[in-house]
Amino acid sequence: MTQPRPVTSFTKPSDGETAPSPPSIDPPYLPPTSRDDAGHDAPVSDAVLSIAARSTSPTDFLRRIAAQWTETFSLAAVALAHPDWPRPMMVARDAEFGRRLDADFIDHLLTSSRSAATACDLPLRRPETQSLPDDNLPASPLSDETPPAPTRSSDPPDRARGMHIRLSPQSDSCAALLIYGNDRLPDTATQIRDLKRLADHARCCRVALEGFDNDRDRDSFRSTLPLSDSTRALRHFHQDLDLTGTAYRIANETRRLLSLDRVTVLASRRGRLRVESVSGVAVVDRRANAIAAATTLATRVLVLGRPITLPAVEPLPPQIADPLDHYLEATDVASVLVVPLYRPSPSALDRGRPGKHRPSDIADPPPSSYTDDQYGDAEPIAVMLLESFSDADRVRFTPAMGSIAAEAAVALSNAREHQRIFGLRVLKTLGDWFGGNRLSYSTLGLLTAAASLLAASIIQVDHTIIATGFVEPAEQQNVFARSDGIVKQIFVRDGQPVAAGDVLMRLENADLETQAESLSGEIQTTLQRLTSIGSMLLDPATDKNLSQRMAIEQRQLQSELNHLQGQQELVRRQLSELEITAPIDGVVAAWQLKRKLSGRPIGRGNQLLSIVRTDGPWQLRLEIPDQDAAEVARARATDDELRVEFAAASHPESTFSATLQSIAGVARRNGQGRTVIDAEATVDPRSRTDRASDNQFFASADAHNGVDATAKIHCGRRSLLASWFGDVADFVHRNLLFYVR
């Protein structure tokens, strides 16, 4: 890609330039006014399109239009710019007037021209300041006529009037500048009228130039690519109707065909643009800053309704300039060509059909209809960002880009229409099942499924509820501390058989022992005092009054002795409780007793260990899920003892049976936070179904207290369909039908 060269002068292209050589002028064709054969004013569209029909190229058309405008508007000069020319060109009636024009200022006006006709003032040089040599006079490549001799005015004005307008919707397309002469400076009313007339001429010129561009675009695109490569690439756009896949092919093929650095395709979904693909990227992260910046920029630029190269020469509004700065900073892109893709509007479709002023046998709309919303009624389909990371290779809109964009717009439009079909995935699935030769197999599959469904609703099976829990002996007793103290001695270990009354451990309480010694001393003192008083009372020599006082003291001491003896008995009982004995015959169930309890203080009521009867009956403690408890309750209403089958973690290869005895009336939260209902079942001692052994499993030595178990509670018979899919039915009733019934 080459960057377009700026206009530096108003001379002919040199021999080395690539601008087309204008054909010789046909003098009889120059009409003084736009009139028809009857002498009436002809419509502007008829006059301009008639010139277009007679022209052989855009250069020939502009030459003829410039000649017509010179006579129609009584102009002194007409300056024109075209993207195929290296610099603007001008036709002037007065060579001296042409010398006085400022070439740089006219170049700026042509570059900044817009689609609306704009009036302007042009600075003129004084005749005495002219020093241009004869070979640099402003030549007219649009006319072979020799300009007349200059006419000098006694007091030439310093400024001239003009009107400039862009003749094509593209920012780098042709523009025109109409300059009034010194002898005809229009007043305000005349210039306003001429601006309206120029706008009408320009609209018709856009249509005519677009017709030339369509033919040139097709020829240029075919000439830049091998026929097989371009045809295969464009057909590849229509490989399928998947929107994302189509966008990926467009991005990667466009980058390859046009030798671009990167291509991003944004598709319109529900009125909002979304990045669908980036060339060379397998997965698009739409949360990335670069993707978000590209989306914002494309959304803002889409309002312009035409392709535009950014950064642009002309100033941009803040609504576009700010997102552009953020986009360039986030992506490190030097320049980007934003190409909007539209569904052709009805106006564009009408212009694409054969008509009076456009003889053609092609009914398709022109390629520019897909990238330019001239009439404001086209539906935006997508936006393409053609990016370059080099400042030297500035991206500009070329005919090849227009052809590719038109083909991409058709492919994306078809994909969007295909995606909008209601129930598309269901229809595709049905088509895959019943299409082609699969009809017989699909029919057989449906019949098989229907038969299976009917059989599942008829066949009766045992309905079971799954619950989890653990197995433990039915007879067991926990041993608690009956008094405060410190564990002094432990006489048993885990798994040791004990008999009722055997000492398990001994506690020590220093306060109780001190209190017992103190009470024993007080009792001895009281007994000695009572003995002394008794001896004195038996002595006949004792005074009667003294005997009465001693009798009273004896009664007090006896009462005190009884109290002390009662306290001593209580302390002795507490001391006896410091010896922990086995309440029943069984096996000690406690892990690492000495490590956990030896030398440690314990309080009254603390659990120390458990004694279990492993040779007696065992029970199964279960946790039934809350959602399945209703099934168990209904089954238990008809059968008080439901059959339970379970597998213990220590013997997963065997199945044991039990009988459900009781079920709790309230729910609770277990350690995992699930709502469960507690239940108990009595284990049948001879219940192994593996037939490997007839021993009583839970009475044997390999039985472990608290072993995990998974149980199946039999809740009667149900149909196979209701048993297998009961959870689904419950979910539908609870979460869907509940809100509508």
Task: Provide the pLDDT for residue 122.
Answer: 85
Quick: pLDDT tens for 381-435.
Answer: 999 999 999 887 788 888 888 888 989 999 999 998 888 888 877 887 888 777 7
The enclosing H or E element of 701 equals none
Task: Provide the pLDDT for residue 515.
Answer: 84
Percent of the chain predicted with pLDDT > 90 = 17
Task: Provide the pLDDT for residue 183.
Answer: 65
Output the DSSP codes for 539-596: -TTS-HHHHHHHHHHHHHHHHHHHHHHHHHHHHHHHHHHTEEE-SSSEEEE-SSHHHH
Q: What are the phi and psi torsion angles at 11 (to 5°)?
A: -105, 175
Task: Provide the pLDDT for residue 4.
Answer: 34
Q: Round to whole Å and give the CA distance between 510 and 483.
A: 12
Task: Provide the pLDDT for residue 649.
Answer: 85
Range in 136-145, 247-256, 296-305 with the lowest mean pLDDT: 136-145
Is residue 613 within 8 Å of 586, Cβ to Cβ? yes
pTM for the whole structure: 0.41
Residue 190 has pLDDT above 80, yes or no: yes
Q: Round to whole Å and give the CA distance between 243 and 232.
A: 19
Q: Round to whole Å and give the CA distance between 633 and 608.
A: 37
Task: Mention the CATH class of domain 27-220.
Answer: alpha beta
Residue 29 has pLDDT above 70, yes or no: no
Is residue 165 within 8 Å of 114, Cβ to Cβ? yes
Task: Provide the pLDDT for residue 346.
Answer: 61
Quick: pLDDT tens for 35-70.
Answer: 443 344 446 777 787 787 777 778 888 888 888 888
Banded pLDDT at 153 (limits 50, 70, 90) = very low
Residue 337 has pLDDT above 50, yes or no: yes
Chain position carrying tokens 């238990």: 636
Q: Round to whole Å and give the CA distance between 633 and 690.
A: 30
Q: What are the phi and psi torsion angles at 165 (to 5°)?
A: -155, 150
Residue 214 has pLDDT above 60, yes or no: no
509, 512, 515, 516 alpha-carbon torsion, rounded to 10°: -110
Mean pLDDT across the chain, nearest whole number?
78
Quick: pLDDT tens for 469-492.
Answer: 999 888 888 888 888 888 888 888
Collapsing DSSP to helix, strand or coil, 276 comes out as strand
> 311 preceded by cis ω (within 30°)?
yes
Strands of the 476-480 sheet, one edge to the other: 476-480, 607-612, 586-589, 497-498
Domain ranges of the chain: 27-220, 225-357+364-419, 477-606, 613-721
Range in 160-174, 343-357, 498-512, 626-640 with the lowest mean pLDDT: 343-357
Q: Round to whole Å and give the CA distance between 237 and 562.
A: 114
CATH code for residues 225-357+364-419: 3.30.450.40
Tokens of 53: 């029909």
Q: Is 456 exposed, middle or buried (0-12, 13-18, 19+ CB in 10 A)?
A: middle
Domains 27-220 and 225-357+364-419 share a fold: yes
Q: Round to whole Å and give the CA distance between 261 and 337.
A: 12
Task: Provide the pLDDT for residue 275.
Answer: 95
Task: Provide the pLDDT for residue 574.
Answer: 82
Hey, which of 288-292, 443-447, 646-650 has the most confident mean pLDDT? 288-292
Q: Is 250 exposed, middle or buried (0-12, 13-18, 19+ CB in 10 A)?
A: buried
Own/partner pairs, 80-83, CB within 8 angstroms, 24+ separation: 80/110, 80/142, 80/174, 80/175, 80/176, 80/177, 81/7, 81/110, 81/111, 81/174, 81/175, 81/176, 82/58, 82/173, 82/174, 83/4, 83/170, 83/172, 83/173, 83/174
Quick: pLDDT tens for 563-604.
Answer: 888 888 888 888 888 888 888 888 888 888 888 888 888 888
Tokens of 47: 């006059």
Q: Is 218 exposed, middle or buried (0-12, 13-18, 19+ CB in 10 A)?
A: middle
- For residue 92, the cross-strand partners are 77
What would the mean pLDDT of 270-284 be, rounded to a whole number?
Answer: 91
The enclosing H or E element of 211 equals helix 188-224
Banded pLDDT at 623 (limits 50, 70, 90) = very high
Collapsing DSSP to helix, strand or coil, 660 comes out as strand
Q: Round to whole Å and give the CA distance between 80 and 64.
A: 12
Is residue 180 within 8 Å of 162, Cβ to Cβ? yes
Banded pLDDT at 130 (limits 50, 70, 90) = very low
Q: Round to whole Å and give the CA distance between 735 and 739.
A: 7
Range in 3-17, 406-420, 656-670 with the lowest mean pLDDT: 3-17
Hey, which of 73-82, 382-391, 638-647, 721-730 has the most confident mean pLDDT? 382-391
Q: Round to whole Å and give the CA distance between 217 and 398.
A: 8
Is residue 159 within 8 Å of 105, Cβ to Cβ? no
Residue 222 has pLDDT above 70, yes or no: no
Banded pLDDT at 691 (limits 50, 70, 90) = very low
- For residue 79, the cross-strand partners are 90, 177
Task: Provide the pLDDT for residue 709.
Answer: 92
Banded pLDDT at 731 (limits 50, 70, 90) = confident
Query: Domain 613-721 is of which CATH architecture?
Result: Beta Barrel (2.40)
Higher pLDDT, 220 or 648: 648
Q: Round to whole Å and give the CA distance between 201 and 383.
A: 31
Banded pLDDT at 245 (limits 50, 70, 90) = very high
Q: Round to whole Å and give the CA distance between 367 and 408.
A: 11
First to last CA, the chain: 69
State the number of CA atoms in the 13 A half-sphere of 63 facing the CB. Answer: 22
Collapsing DSSP to helix, strand or coil, 181 comes out as coil
Task: Provide the pLDDT for residue 111.
Answer: 84
Task: Provide the pLDDT for residue 229.
Answer: 55
Task: Provide the pLDDT for residue 173.
Answer: 66
Collapsing DSSP to helix, strand or coil, 340 comes out as strand
Sequence-ordered list of residues with C-beta below 8 angstroms from that of 693, at least 6 positions apart, any chain? none
Tokens of 266: 């944004």
Chain position carrying tokens 């690539």: 18
Q: Round to whole Å and give the CA distance between 28 and 46.
A: 19
